[in-house]
Amino acid sequence: MNTFELTFFVWLGSLVAGFLGSLTGLGGGVIIVPLLTLAFHVDIRYAIGASLVSVIATSSGAAAAYVKEGYSNIRVGMFLEVATTFGAITGAMIAVRLPLPAIAIIFGIVLLYSAYMSYYPSKEIHAVEKTGPVAAWLRMDGTYPTPEGLKAYRVQGVPAGFSLMYLAGILSGLLGIGSGAVKVIAMDRAMRLPFKVSTTTSNFMIGVTAAASAGVYLNRGYIDPGLSMPVMLGVLAGSLAGTFVLAKARTPLLRTLFSVVVAALAVEMIVSAFTGRFSH
Amino acid sequence: MTVVNGRARDQGIEEIIGTLLRTGVILAALVVLAGGIFYLARNGSSPAHYGLFRGEPSDLLHVAAIVRDAVRLDSLGIIQLGLLLLIATPVARVAFTVFAFAYERDWTYVVVTLIVLALLLYSLGAWHVF
């Protein structure tokens, strides 16, 4: 394949990945790296760099729409970004020292987890009555729009949420993904934010987290312009198209299908790591 | 009632942040697209090589050098400049939020946001610029 053909096919693949990622809420990032490494035989370091770039693009694009609607909690997001950016830098620094097959195996495990999360989406937990001490000190309680007007909610479990966010940051820096799944858990389960608030705040944070990782990758020479160009443009276009379709239809079947694809990619990543595909 | 007031003012901040993010992403995508067309027009028929990791040449790693390449209209330099604009978009958002919290005299969050900004600048290797 010459550069033009490869660029076109990478763009097309990224377009589909972005579209499905947006429809299923998993984000395009989780399948970009397997797509590039397994189907196009791209070095995993270049793949992670390109994936990070696409994650920033989709997160910022989506966040632009969400923040205006008033769902995301800027205080919660900004405070937790201390943990995610610090984690992202840690992750990116680990990534440059870790053997490539090890990165591929960790990636496979995270993919399996994402597939599971997508197949069994977590249910909304009952809102808490009392604000946690740290949340009270940081004035994190907020409101969000509902059909019946603004609804107030209380926040708790900030230390647990903060710790989980550090982990989410490490995974993002290590694997070039948004770690939306871990972020949403931190905010749903630990901090008890309403669903709509946690997903949009997570999206809002992903861009900042990924930017921290991308800085390290850029300086290390892992971001290749020729490869990142079709990936970024493809994922961005695909996820935009996805949001338009999403507004019209819920898609349980697609979600199941996507979970299966992600799980298959996970197994393929792990097997490839053990058979020496990533070691060069 | 201070909490309610705070939320109301946050709403204004949110609108500006939304516009900032949208503009950043669109601008970055256009620059990357322009560089990409330029790149493919010149190198489209040469063989592809992403299977082998070589690391990028040093002129595509640092902010100042990327800008220099882009100004010379080097196609990869232009794409890299677009990617840099994209990475800068969330950074600009954080920087703006520092001012927004300062305007609200919310000093706790000014400090929180400054920490995030410092971490971002550190990761981008801001020390290479100065």
**What are A152's strand-pairing partners?**
A143
Would you put residue A213 in left (φ > 0), alpha (ψ -120 to 50) or beta? Answer: alpha
Q: Where are the alpha helices (DSSP H) in A70-176?
A: 74-95, 100-119, 133-137, 158-175
Residue A251 has pLDDT above 70, yes or no: no
Dihedral over Cα of A23, A29, A30, A35: its sign:
positive
Q: Is B22's pLDDT higher than 80?
A: yes
- Region A245-262: mean pLDDT is 72
Give the integer Cα–Cα distance in Å for A65 and A200: 10
Predicted confidence band at B54 (pLDDT cuts at 50, 70, 90)? low
Distance CA A125, CA A107 (A): 29
Q: What is the pLDDT of residue B4?
A: 40
According to the model, what pLDDT value does residue A62 have?
Answer: 78
Residue B1: predicted pLDDT: 29
Q: ipTM exceeding 0.95?
A: no
pLDDT at A55 over 60: yes
User: What average pLDDT is seen over chain B?
Assistant: 81
Tell me which residues of chain A, numbers 50 to 69, contact chain B at a CB-CB cutoff of 8 Å: 53, 56-57, 59-61, 63-65, 67-68
What are the angstrom distances between the C-alpha of B82 and each of A12, A165, B67, B95? 20, 29, 10, 19
Condensed to tens digits (0 to 9), the pLDDT of residues A162-187 reads: 999 999 999 999 998 888 778 878 88
Does A88 or A150 have the greater pLDDT score?
A88
Higher local confidence (pLDDT), A239 or A167: A167
Cα–Cα distance measured from residue B80 to residue A229, given in angstroms and rounded to the nearest whole number:
9
Res B60 pLDDT > 90: no
Mean pLDDT of B6-20: 70
CB atoms within 10 A of CB A94: 15
pLDDT value at position A212?
93
Question: What is the model's pLDDT at position B108?
Answer: 93
pLDDT of residue A126: 63
Tell me, what's the pLDDT at A147?
A: 81
- B123, B124, B127, B128: which to substitute to probe chain A, counting the most A Cβ within 10 Å? B123
- Is the pLDDT at A241 greater than 70? The verdict is yes
Instruction: Give the best residue of A58, A60, A213, A222 to mutate against chain B (max B CB count within 10 A).
Output: A60
Q: How many residues does chain B have?
A: 130
User: A54, A206 in Cβ contact below 8 A?
Assistant: no
Q: Is the pLDDT of residue B3 over 50?
A: no
Helix (H, G, I), strand (E, B) or coil at A28: coil
Dump pLDDT digits (tens) for A90-148: 998 898 889 999 999 999 998 888 888 777 766 666 667 788 888 888 888 888 888 88
Work out the average pLDDT over B90-99: 92
Residue contact A65–B46, C-beta within 8 A: no
Instruction: Judge whether residue B2 has pLDDT over 50.
Output: no
Contact flag A89-B122 (C-beta cutoff 8 Å): yes
- Say what the pTM is: 0.87
Mean pLDDT of chain A: 85
Smallest Cα distance from A85 to chain B, Å: 7
Flag whether pLDDT at B111 surpasses 90. yes
Are A45 and B108 inside 8 Å of each other by CB? Answer: no
- The partner residue sitting opposite B125, judged by closest CB among A3, A211, A215, is A215
Tokens of A232: 């970024």
Q: Residue ranges of the domains in chain B?
A: 2-42+57-128
A156 within 8 A of A135, measured Cβ to Cβ: yes
Whole-number pLDDT of residue A193: 87
Q: Which chain B residues have a beta carbon less than 8 Å from that of A42?
A: 50-51
Highest mean pLDDT among A195-199, A274-278, B91-95: B91-95
β-pairing, A149-153 with A142-146? Answer: antiparallel
Interface size, chain A vs chain B, as Cβ–Cβ contacts under 8 Å: 212
Residues of B whose CB is below 8 A from A67: 14-15, 17-18, 21
